Amino acid sequence: MVRTASDHIPRAGTVSTDGVTTIAEVARQAKVSRATVSRVMNGHATVDPELAGRVREVAARLHYSPSRVARSLSLGRTQTVGLLVPDLGNPMFQQVLRGANQAARRSGYRILVADSIEEPQREAELAIEARRQCDALILCSPRMPEPELVQVLDATRPVVLVNRELTGSDVPTLTVDYVHGIRAVAQHLLDLGHRTLLYLTGPAESASNAARLAGLRQWQADHPEVKIEDVPCGSMIEDGYRAVDVVLDSGATGVIAFNDLVAFGLLGKLDEAGVNVPGDLSVAGFDDIDFARYARPSLTTMSVPQADLGRQAWDQLQALLQFPGQTAPGPTYFRPRLVQRASTGPAGSTS
Amino acid sequence: MVRTASDHIPRAGTVSTDGVTTIAEVARQAKVSRATVSRVMNGHATVDPELAGRVREVAARLHYSPSRVARSLSLGRTQTVGLLVPDLGNPMFQQVLRGANQAARRSGYRILVADSIEEPQREAELAIEARRQCDALILCSPRMPEPELVQVLDATRPVVLVNRELTGSDVPTLTVDYVHGIRAVAQHLLDLGHRTLLYLTGPAESASNAARLAGLRQWQADHPEVKIEDVPCGSMIEDGYRAVDVVLDSGATGVIAFNDLVAFGLLGKLDEAGVNVPGDLSVAGFDDIDFARYARPSLTTMSVPQADLGRQAWDQLQALLQFPGQTAPGPTYFRPRLVQRASTGPAGSTS
DNA sequence: TTGTATGCGTTATCAT
DNA sequence: ATGATAACGCATACAA
């Protein structure tokens, strides 16, 4: 929007037309130049106390506060970082958001959220688009194929990658050691005497699901005496809910759900079906969301420091913003911790 | 940041120093004016197909995309709305965010999140500060005192208020009929034969807690035969967890928790304590978060359409953005619905 | 110390 | 239909 130059006021005297006061207006009323106002507002240089006082007084009276947009344009930074997640409805990503937001806030940054759930296939596009509005990006659990990911990372840096790995990239990466994690769960179930396990897989595009599968294969190789089956399921409560028949038909005595959400759904339906957990069937989840311990029976799961992922993501980003050239120290692994609760128990304790 | 004018390139020929291509660069390479490039990019006017093609070709080759910041400054709008919530960790607000984000996204808007949990006393400040970065604001469950709220609403409009009422304001307001809701729960418990009820209150500053209390008083007046006590508790899982002693000592047979989180915590601790729910004690929540039906026993609660609140908040905001003068049609009430599940049952069925 | 001038990248007005 | 140019609001190098 351009104002007509019908009023022959010189640029320096531009007066706000709408409700918002501008630096020019403050300058005019304080009888100083805009530069001086700017200096005062930013605590810059040593400006005459007399003038500074006048400026501050006028600024306060007019409720003046510099335009973030204009400031962003001039400074070349927005003090905003984008966060792209696959599903804002998932507690895992909510926690990452929460952690990142808190950390960013402390440094005076804000977070712009982007949720790709409506159009997962446009994930890459969304990332790049979001990035154009901020100074950096946190890419959480991107589902896009690797070649695309490489391009996106390159197009959006500074960027940090959360919950997905990319070999040969210098992008700071925070990831969970799902391979170890899933092995720990399997071992836990074996220790309880379970010889027939079932893994309810997550979304096919999910890298963390692939990692879990890989871990399971590894572990299987070391334990040929155990039968492990995996069936497609999903990542949401409903997916677990619907999986109950497959689970019961499988003959498995121990079930590992892709995540706690799935485990929750499964537990719910099992209860309705009158199946005793862990008497008839042991169920383990993954993530340790807040509600896991309040499930009935309380959910055995691998604890992932979700908010920490967010916090650290911000830390890495901030480092990158300060020292742009800095190369990444390789992926940072968060090792999940087995939290043994009541949903898993000795094999064949009832039945 | 100002570039030294050491290169005597006239403004129209400004060349990008950093990685990002500007409109000027595209204009130069396409041998047209910046105005034309702008027109092409925005599908404006009818520009010669020949030129348009050239421009598009160059733009594509250079991966040009208009700067959102510059665009915002010129247009006077950011295509971004702020959302302030008291606690991003609360499923209720997460759903509001999710709903609002989805709706906003469909209209090409993004959401900037702000969480006041770290400094609740600076809520007003945060709201105003967030608003300076966007075109509008969604104020969700503000805890600030009324006089302050009035000022904030005035300073941040266009703004819509969610989950709090303010009489005499023309700000679009979306609120839940907690008064009705809490009465419905109480009645439900009475219908089950409970004569001694306990309400675990939420945060003192919470308007929705006040509404619940008011509803409870009303209902009490109509039912003098029932004994209702209320004790301070909180809004988080841990608060409910810690309330178990008070609950057991109260002698109440029916408990109404401020929200589902509190109910969850209480259920968890009750289970540990070996208390049978609903045999010994009935417990009801509020909100109907996703997990409520997966609690054990599944949680009886008042269902609040959380994501809808977010979606409608956006709708109202959009209307306001289009027709700024438009006055609000008074508060929109969402009437919560009783969802009867397994955590409430007949009084004295065990014990 | 303060003011002047210019640049940030875009859109829109106005003349051509 | 196209181009030159002002304007959005702010920050800063440079001159005074």
The CATH number assigned to the domain holding B57 equals: 1.10.260.40
Same domain for B129 and B192: no
Q: Quickly state the pLDDT bin for A6 (edges 50, 70, 90).
A: very low
Strand partners, A110: A80
- What is the distance between the alpha carbons of residues B13 and B27, in angstroms, rounded to a whole number? 8
Cβ–Cβ of B88/A110 closer than 8 Å? Answer: no
Q: Which residues contact B290 (CB under 8 A, 6 or more apart)?
A: A89, A237, B91
The answer to whether residue A5 sits within a structural domain is no
Q: Has residue A113 been placed in a domain?
A: yes
- Smallest Cβ–Cβ distance between A101 and the set B105, B113, B264 belongs to B113
Helices B49-61 & B23-30 angle (0-180, nearest 10): 120
Cβ–Cβ contact B72 with A under 8 A: yes
pLDDT band at B328 (very low <50, low <70, confident <90, very high): confident
Q: Chain D bases under 7 Å from protein CB?
A: 1-14
Three-state secondary structure call for residue A85: strand
Over residues B194-206, the mean pLDDT reads: 97
Contacts of A139 (CB under 8 A, 6+ apart): A84, A127, A152, A153, A156, A159, A160, A161, A162, A164
Determine, yes or no, domain membership for B317: yes
- B59: which 2 tokens? 């733009």
The tens digit of pLDDT for each residue in B104-131 reads 999 999 999 999 999 999 999 999 999 9
The count of residues in chain B is 351
Averaged pLDDT, B5-25: 54
Contact by Cβ (8 Å): A299, A285: yes
- Percentage of chain A with pLDDT > 70? 94
- Mean pLDDT for chain B? 92
Residue B226 CB in 7 A reach of strand D: no
Rounded to an integer, the average pLDDT of A20-35 is: 95
Instruction: State the pLDDT confidence band at B8, using cuts at 50, 70 and 90.
Output: very low
A319 with A286, same domain: the answer is no
Q: Could you tell me which of A228, A226, A178, A232 has the C-alpha nearest to residue A200?
A: A232
In a 10 Å sphere around its CB, with 0-12 CB exposed, 13-18 middle and 19+ buried, how is residue A302 labelled? buried
The answer to whether B41 CB is within 7 Å of strand C is: yes
B17 in any annotated domain: no
Checking each nucleotide's C1' against the CA of B72, the nearest proves to be C10
CB A262 within 8 Å of CB A302: no
Q: A80 touching B, CB under 8 A?
A: yes
- Do both B60 and B85 map to the same domain? no
The reported pLDDT for the residue numbered A350 is 60
DSSP single-letter state for residue B53: H
Tell me the average pLDDT across A84-102.
97
Residues A229, A127 share a domain: no
Give me the residue from B73, B264, B293 closest to A294, CB to CB.
B264
Please tell me if residue A268 touches chain B, with a CB cutoff of 8 Å: yes
Q: Which of A76, A133, A298 sits opposite B110 (nearest CB)?
A: A133
pLDDT tens-digit map of A287-340? 999 999 888 899 999 999 999 999 999 999 999 999 887 777 789 999 999 999
Residue B5 maps to a domain: no
Which residue in chain B is spatially nearest to A294 when comparing CA positions? B268
Find all residues with CB under 8 Å of A258, minimum gap 6, and list them.
A199, A200, A201, A202, A209, A212, A233, A234, A235, A286
Query: Do B256 and B209 share a structural domain?
Result: yes
Q: What is the CATH number of the domain that holds A151?
A: 3.40.50.2300
The answer, for A65 touching chain B at a CB cutoff of 8 Å, is yes
Among candidate residues A42, A75, A108, the one where a domain is terminated: A75
pLDDT at A14 over 50: no
Q: How far apart are CA B244 and CA B283, in angstroms?
A: 12
State yes or no: pLDDT of B97 exceeds 70.
yes
CA distance A212 to A112: 30
Residues B183, B272 within the same domain: yes
For residues A205 and A251, state if they share a domain. yes
> Are B215 and B313 contained in the same domain?
no
B84-to-A111, B52, B176 alpha-carbon distances in Å: 12, 42, 18
**What count of CB pairs under 8 Å joins A to B?**
125
Most B CBs within 10 Å: which of A42, A113, A269, as the mutation test of the B interface? Answer: A113
| A349: in domain | no
- For chain A, the domain total comes to 3
Same domain for A93 and A147? yes
Range of the domain at A71: 23-75
Contact A258, A286 (CB under 8 A): yes
**Strand order, beta sheet including B254-257:** B227-232, B196-201, B254-257, B282-287, B300-303, B337-339
First to last CA, chain A: 75
Phi, psi of A81 (to 5 degrees): -125, 145
pLDDT at B156: 96
The contacts of residue A95 (CB under 8 Å, 6+ apart) are A289, A306, A307, A309, A310, B89
Question: Distance, angstroms, CA A61 to C1' D8?
Answer: 23
Cβ of A88 within 8 Å of Cβ of B75? The answer is: no
d(CA B277, CA B240): 15
Provide the CA A23 to C1' D12 distance, Å, integer: 15
Q: How far is CA B93 from CA A180, A196, A321, B49, B212, in A?
A: 34, 41, 30, 49, 18
Strand order in the sheet with A80-85: A332-334, A173-176, A159-162, A136-140, A80-85, A110-115, B110-115, B80-85, B136-140, B159-162, B173-176, B332-334
Closest Cα in chain A to B265: A294
Question: Which residues of chain B are within 8 Å of residue A70 when distances are taken between CB atoms?
Answer: 73
How far is residue A198's CA from residue A34's CA, in Å, rounded to a whole number?
69
Residue A12 lies in a domain: no
| Range 4-43 of B in CB contact (< 8 A) with A | none
Judge whether A328 lies within some domain: yes
**Angle, vertex CA B299, rays to CA B298 and CA B303, nearest 5:** 130
Cβ within 8 Å, pair A118-B98:
no
Which chain B residues 282-311 have CB under 7 A to strand C?
A: none
Percentage of chain A modeled with pLDDT above 90? 87
Residues of A in contact with B65 (CB under 8 A): 132
| Tens digit of each residue's pLDDT (9 = 90 or more) over B154-190 | 999 999 999 999 999 999 999 999 999 999 999 999 9
**Cβ contact, residue pair B1, A75, below 8 Å:** yes
Query: Dihedral through CA A194, CA A198, CA A202, CA A208, nearest 10?
Result: 40
- Contact B298/A at CB under 8 A: yes
CB A248 within 8 A of CB A255: no
Q: pLDDT, tens digit, for every residue of A30-76?
A: 999 999 999 999 998 789 999 999 999 999 999 999 999 999 999 99
| Same domain? B310 vs B286 | no
Asked whether residue B45's C-beta has any atom of DNA/RNA strand C within 7 A, the reply is no
Sign of CA dihedral A333, A338, A339, A343: positive
pLDDT band at B19; cut points 50, 70, 90: low
Of all protein residues, which has its CA closest to the C1' atom of C1? A47
Q: What is the pTM of this model?
A: 0.93
Confidence of residue B46 (pLDDT cuts 50, 70, 90): confident
- Judgement on whether residues B65 and B109 belong to the same structural domain of the protein: no
Judge if B58 and B160 occupy the same domain: no
What DSSP state is assigned to residue B310? H
Pairing of strands A282-284, A254-257: parallel
Spell out the residues 6+ positions from residue A248 whose beta carbon is closer than 8 angstroms to its own.
A273, A275
Does position B12 have pLDDT exceeding 70, yes or no?
no
Position B273 pLDDT exceeds 60: yes
- In the 51-70 segment of chain A, residues within 7 Å (Cβ) of strand D are 64-67, 70
> Checking DSSP bridges between strand A301-303 and strand A337-339, what pairing results, if any?
antiparallel
